Structure 1
Amino acid sequence: MPSPDSITVPQLLRLIGTPEAPIIIDVRFEDDFDADPRLIPGGFHHSYLEIDALVPRLRGRKVAVVCQKGRKLSQGATATLQTYGIDAEHLEGGTVAWKNAGGPMVPVAALPPRNAAGETLWVTRHRPKIDRMACPWLIRRFVDPSARFLFVSPSEVPAVAEHFGATPFDIQDVFWSHRGELCTFDVMVEEFGLVTEPLLRLSTIVRAADTDRHDLAPQAAGLLAASLGLSRMYKDDLRQLEAGMLLYDAFYRWSRDAVDEGHNWPTGQSKG
């Protein structure tokens, strides 16, 4: 019988990539983690012995705790967090069950270093349109929910990256950028181990809109129009990004749940 303090793999799979996703804490033993240094999307590794230190960061948030098999470490850490009033659950079956179900895993080697607050810091050109909105959405929804983004003049991106310890993206001659016909979003989906059917479908739309190849996906014209509209609505790039998160949430849910659904005027009803 499932524990009342647990979340199942199918339940967590439905939440990953949405605004309702919990904070995911991987508390596997160091040896087990080193043997497979990958994380459930959006998760981070933390010692179960120091779980109390996370309490200030977790207050008011829903939490899913993960270990290798969903037994002593995740259940113990979950129970500890609950004594502080944290809304925590443990993942049934742990990473073993997640991988057996085909859940995506993000390789730690692909992640930029985190700062003292546990955040990744990224930098790109200001006035984002397509790729520079889509990539932050992907990072926050599947890689690091606490990620921060700096938008600066194109010529200053490399220097800001160097002096502020930020990871540059969507500029020339950096790792996180276009490769051949692929846009930066495509590259991130692949490098972060997020090759799922919904994200591949969304990647095609983003690439089509970002490279003016609307023949690749009819939805690209709508994404471009909405993106250009947002760029006219907001002078502040960070406010534009927050508004754009909802746009990409909607495109992702369509890509995952609604591709076979159409819409037309109900037959047999008056249009008057």
Structure 2
Amino acid sequence: MPALNQISVTQLNRLIGTPDCPEIVDISIDPDFAEDPFLIPGSFRHPHTDIPGLIRRLNGRTCIVTCQRGIKLSQGLVAWLRQDGIAAEYLQGGMYAWRDAPDALRVPAQAIPAPIDGATLWVTRHRPKIDRIACPWLIRRFVDRQARFLFVSPAEVMGVADRYGATPFDMVGVPFSHRGANCTFDTMLDAFALHCPALDRMADVIRGADTDRHDLHPAAAGLLALSVGLSRQYRDDNTQLQAGMALYDALFRWARDGHDWPHTTGTDHG
């Protein structure tokens, strides 16, 4: 009989990339992590010995805890958190089970920029439209849920990156940018090993909208229209980003679960 505080790989995989996904805490000890330095998308590492620090970091949010095998480390920490009133579950089978699941994404830890004050820090040009909303969405949903984004004038992006240790993106000459016919969203899928049917489908739409190649996907023109409208609706870039998160959440659920709708003809599509 499954434990009440246990979640399966399949169940967690359905939560990854959605706004409802709990915090995912990897407490694998350093030698185990060094043998296989990959992360579940959106997770963060934390030492199992620092329970007060973890409680502060969770700040009341629900969490899923994983270690190498899902045995003593994660089960013990989950029991501790639950007795302190924090909703917590452990991943059945741990990182070994996640690694062996055929459709589970794994982010290489070395690809993630070093955190600045506890979270990755990114900088790009102000007045975002498509790539500069899509990429922050991807990062917050699949790389670093607490990531921060700075929007500055184009001439100051590299200076801000240098002064504040931020990672520049969607700029000519930086690693996270357009490559050939591909846009920055594509580059990030490559860098963070996030290729899967849903995100690849989204990439076709985003690339088509961002590079004015509406022939790449029928939805590209619609995304362009919504993105331009969103940019006209908000003067503040961070407020626009928050609104854009919902747009890309919906696009992800379409790409994952509804891209073949309607399934039949002659029915009410309303």
**TM surpasses 0.5:** yes
Q: Please state if 1:47 is matched with 2:23.
A: no
Alpha-carbon distance in 2 for matches of 1:127, 1:183: 17
Residues 13-32 of structure 1 mapped to structure 2, 5 A cutoff: 13-32=13-32
1:105 matched to 2:106? The reply is yes
Q: 1:190 deviation in Å?
A: 1.2
8 Å CA contact 1:22–1:62 kept in 2: the answer is yes
Displacement, 1:20?
Answer: 0.4
Taking the aligned partners of 2:242 and 2:169, their CA distance within structure 1 comes to: 18
Q: Which amino acid aligns with 2:157?
A: V
* Corresponding residue for residue 4 of structure 1: 4
Q: Which amino acid aligns with 1:105?
A: R
Q: SS of the counterpart of 2:170?
A: coil
Alignment of 1:209-248 (within 5 A): 209-248=209-248
8 Å CA contact retained: 2:204, 2:216: yes
Name 2:208's counterpart in structure 1: 208
Letter in 1 for 2:12: L
Contact 1:26 1:46 in 2 (8 A): yes
In the TM superposition, residue 115 of structure 1 has moved relative to its aligned partner by 2.0
Conserved 8 A contact 1:66-1:94 = yes
Q: Which amino acid in the other structure matches residue 6 of structure 1? A: Q
- Give TM-score, length-normalised by structure 2: 0.96
Question: What letter matches 1:111 in structure 2?
Answer: I
User: Deviation at 1:83?
Assistant: 2.5
CA contact under 8 A between 1:209 and 1:220: conserved in structure 2?
A: yes
Give, in angstroms, the shift of residue 79 of structure 1: 1.3
Q: Name the counterpart of 2:163.
A: 163
> CA offsets per residue over residues 102-143 of structure 1, 9 Å max, x none?
211111110011123x21110000000000000000000000
3-state SS of 1:48 partner: coil
Q: CA deviation at 1:265?
A: 7.2
Could you list the per-position Cα deviations for residues 236-265 of structure 1 after superposition, in whole angstroms to 9, with x for gaps in the alignment? Answer: 000000000000000000000011112877
Aligned-partner SS, 2:239: helix
Match of 2:92 in 1: 92
Q: In 2, distance between residues paired with 1:145 and 1:225?
A: 27
Q: Using the alignment, how far apart are the partners of 2:184 and 2:134 within structure 1?
A: 9
d(CA) in 2 for partners of 1:86, 1:78: 9
Distance 2:187 2:84 in 1: 40
Percent identical among aligned pairs is 57
Q: Summarize the alignment of residues 56-71 of structure 1 with structure 2, pairs less than 5 Å apart.
A: 56-71=56-71
* 1:181 aligned residue: 181
Letter in 2 for 1:22: P
Distance between the aligned counterparts of 2:267 and 2:91, measured in 1?
43
- AA matched with 1:219: A
Unaligned runs of 5+ in 1: 268-272
Unaligned runs of 5+ in 2: none
Give the Å deviation of 1:51: 2.7
Cα contact 1:52–1:80 (8 A) shared by 2: no
RMSD, matched Cα: 1.2
**Aligned counterparts of 1:57 and 1:29: Cα–Cα separation in 2:** 19
Find the aligned partners of 2:84 and 2:154 in 1 and give their Cα distance: 45
The residue that corresponds to 1:196 in the other structure is 196
Do the aligned partners of 2:122 and 2:167 also contact (CA within 8 Å) in 1?
yes
- Check whether the contact 1:59–1:86 (CA below 8 A) recurs between aligned residues: no
Matched to 2:112, the amino acid is L
Letter in 2 for 1:67: C
- Equivalent in the alignment of 1:74: 74
Q: Could you tell me which amino acid in structure 2 is paired with residue 29 of structure 1?
A: I
Question: Which amino acid is 1:148 matched to?
Answer: R
TM-score scaled by structure 1? 0.95
1:257 maps to a residue whose letter is D
CA deviations on 1:6-29 (whole Å, 9 max, x unpaired) are: 111111000000000111110111
Distance 1:28 1:237 in 2: 37
| Structure 1: distance between partners of 2:116 and 2:129 | 27
Q: Tell me the CA shift for residue 59 of structure 1.
A: 2.7
